[in-house]
Structure 1
Amino acid sequence: MTSRSVVITGASAGLGLDCARAILADDPTWHLVLAVRDPARGMAAVDALGAPDRCTVLPCDLASLRSVDEFVDALTRADLPPLHALVCNAGLQVVDVSQTTADGVEMTFGVNHLGHFALVTSLLDELAAPARIVIVSSGTHDPTKFTGGMPHPLYTSAEELARPGDPDDKDGRRRYTTSKLCNMLFAYELDRRLDAGARGVTVTAFDPGLMPGSGLAREYSPVQRLLWRYAFPALRILPNVNSIAASGRRLAALVHDARYEGVTGTYYEGKRPIRSSADSYDTAKAHDLWTTSEQLVATARA
């Protein structure tokens, strides 16, 4: 019988789905809330998982802060076990053209950071201790890491990231790596504001590594998508190149495994705790990101 709930964003496919599958297989006490943009795909994921009595699908489009608020409202009204974990996994990479969310925020920043910021901060009071928050970042946030040619992140200010001065900027891959740096800044600042686990809520960040075949390549060119799907899996002999299933199991462990009880403010490359980038520890950037994110969410809700 389930006794606690976990919310997983982006759980209808890829890393989120494999994380859900691993939790279901490893720990029967968890009820899974699949926070997905498309409920039909969410229900298909439940069918694939084969445990409909342990899964709830609720719509949550991170590109719309109204949708995030509606998800929070639906979750708090649902008759589910107490909430003990949040997995901020959903993400996208807009490659060739800048797009904006329903709230007028640059799409990559809006989905990969701001939507999760609104979700987590709205649910903090709903978490039942001991609770865990896991934020999926990426090694691409760190300029010292080999990331297959991804451009280095460029954090100017959160306001500039949310509303770029050049709306025609097509450097989508840099927007992606910068959003992954934002994930790290958010994770560490959240941990500080939660008194480093003293309130019963821990925060960890996770790099799943390069995962050939994942959905991040959906906006690549046809040739790039073919390489991503069929050629890149051969790279798994290299460090931190993983199958989606392997990374899903490692992400799931951060949610439920007793080994991580009380661990907080830590960044994991797969199973290994490592230092993140120098910029990720910049408290001035973290404060700017948090303050601006609060303002953007408040404006959207006004």
Structure 2
Amino acid sequence: MNTRTVVITGANAGLGLECARALLAHDPSWHLVLAVRDVTRGAEAVAYLGHPGRCTVLELDLASMQSVRAFADTLRGAALPPLHAVVCNAGLQVVSGTEYTADGVETTFGVNHVGHFALVQALLDDLVQPARIVIVSSGTHDPAKFTGMPSPNYTTAAALAHPDESQPPDGRRRYTTSKLCNVLFAYELDRRLDHGERGITVNAFDPGLMPGSGLARDYSTIGRWVWRYVFPLLRVLPNVNSTRSSGARLAALAVDPRFDNVTGAYFEGTRQIRSSEDSYDRDKALDLWETSEQLLLTAI
């Protein structure tokens, strides 16, 4: 019998789909809400997972604050079991120029951070204790690690939301900076929730390099070919994983009892490690939080 609900963003493919698969296998008490931009693909994912009675597909476009608000309202009216977990998984990487969300925010920052910030704010009062929030980041946020990606460049959140178009766009750096924002957000949210004292834990998760995931969809033809056919050969290296193995680890952080009361932490898989030096910068976290709040207030 379903007694608890978990929301997973971007659950129709890749890491989110594999997280859903692992959650369904972990404990029959969980009901899954697949929060997806395309409900047709979400329905296909439910059919693929094979547990239609334990899954609900709801539309969510993280590039639209109106869609985030509508999702939260629909979830409340869906007569589902109490909400106990939110997995902020969806993400993208725009490398070919500069795009903007429906609310005028640069898309990589807007979807990877602002959309999830808005979702969590909308659902906080609906979470029933004990509850968990897991925010998917990336090891690429840490310049001390060799990832092949450019180091993040966090100046101000306002500059990330509305970049200077006189400068050439650097989509890969925007991505790594958005992943730093994910960790800054997780730590600041944990502080504001009194480090678990309110019954809600918050952790950040690095799934590792996952060849075959959808993050390369905006790459060049050659880049997509390398991502699909060459990078899978690197799985013998540390923290290079299949989406299935990383999905199982993400699911564990969301529901496994061994992570009860663990909060304000950063995980590489299921191993707790330190995140980048910048991710502990309280000034950056406060700037990010306050700017994100302002972006929600001014959204269409």
**How high is the TM-score relative to the length of structure 2?**
0.99
Task: Describe the superposition over 1:79-124 as per-residue Cα deviations: whole angstroms up to 9, x where unpaired.
Answer: 1000000000000000121100000000000000000000001110
How far apart are residue 26 of structure 1 and its match? 1.0
How far apart are residue 288 of structure 1 and its match? 0.3
The equivalent residue for 2:58 is 58
How far apart are residue 271 of structure 1 and its match? 1.5
The equivalent residue for 1:28 is 28
User: Aligned ranges for residues 232-243 of structure 1 at < 5 Å?
Assistant: 232-243=231-242
User: Aligned partners of 2:18, 2:276: CA distance in 1, in Å?
Assistant: 27
How far apart are residue 221 of structure 1 and its match? 1.0
**Cα RMSD after superposing both structures:** 0.8
User: Aligned partners of 1:52, 1:168: CA distance in 2, in Å?
Assistant: 48
**How high is the TM-score relative to the length of structure 1?**
0.98
How far apart are residue 223 of structure 1 and its match? 1.2
User: Aligned partners of 1:109, 1:256: CA distance in 2, in Å?
Assistant: 27
The equivalent residue for 1:291 is 290
How far apart are residue 167 of structure 1 and its match? 6.1
SS of residue in 2 equivalent to 1:151: coil
Task: Assess if the C-alpha contact under 8 Å between 1:188 and 1:265 holds in 2.
Answer: yes
Identity %: 70
The equivalent residue for 1:114 is 114
Question: Quick check: 21-30 or 163-172, which moved more?
Answer: 163-172
How far apart are residue 229 of structure 1 and its match? 0.8
User: Aligned ranges for residues 238-257 of structure 1 at < 5 Å?
Assistant: 238-257=237-256
Task: Describe the superposition over 1:173-211 as per-residue Cα deviations: whole angstroms up to 9, x where unpaired.
Answer: 000000000000000000000000000000010000000
User: Aligned partners of 2:172, 2:214: CA distance in 1, in Å?
Assistant: 15
The equivalent residue for 1:85 is 85
One-letter amino acid matched to 1:51: H
The equivalent residue for 1:18 is 18
Task: Assess if the C-alpha contact under 8 Å between 1:209 and 1:269 holds in 2.
Answer: yes
How far apart are residue 170 of structure 1 and its match? 2.3
User: Aligned partners of 1:31, 1:136: CA distance in 2, in Å?
Assistant: 20
2:268 aligned with 1:269: yes
SS of residue in 2 equivalent to 1:16: helix
User: Aligned partners of 1:184, 1:178: CA distance in 2, in Å?
Assistant: 10
SS of residue in 1 equivalent to 2:128: strand
User: Aligned ranges for residues 32-181 of structure 1 at < 5 Å?
Assistant: 32-147=32-147, 149-166=148-165, 169-181=168-180
The equivalent residue for 1:3 is 3
Task: Describe the superposition over 1:120-177 as per-residue Cα deviations: whole angstroms up to 9, x where unpaired.
Answer: 0111000000000000000000000111x20000001000000012266320000000
Structure 1 spans left out of the alignment, 5+ residues: none
Task: Assess if the C-alpha contact under 8 Å between 1:105 and 1:163 holds in 2.
Answer: yes
User: Aligned partners of 1:88, 1:103: CA distance in 2, in Å?
Assistant: 20
Structure 2 spans left out of the alignment, 5+ residues: none
User: Aligned partners of 2:166, 2:83: CA distance in 1, in Å?
Assistant: 39
| Count of matched residue pairs | 300
Task: Assess if the C-alpha contact under 8 Å between 1:98 and 1:167 holds in 2.
Answer: no
SS of residue in 2 equivalent to 1:280: helix
The equivalent residue for 1:217 is 216
User: Aligned partners of 2:168, 2:160: CA distance in 1, in Å?
Assistant: 11
User: Aligned partners of 1:163, 1:67: CA distance in 2, in Å?
Assistant: 21
User: Aligned partners of 1:285, 1:108: CA distance in 2, in Å?
Assistant: 18
User: Aligned partners of 1:44, 1:25: CA distance in 2, in Å?
Assistant: 18
Deviating beyond 3 angstroms after TM superposition, the runs of 4 or more aligned structure 1 residues are none
How far apart are residue 226 of structure 1 and its match? 1.1
User: Aligned partners of 2:54, 2:182: CA distance in 1, in Å?
Assistant: 29
How far apart are residue 246 of structure 1 and its match? 0.2
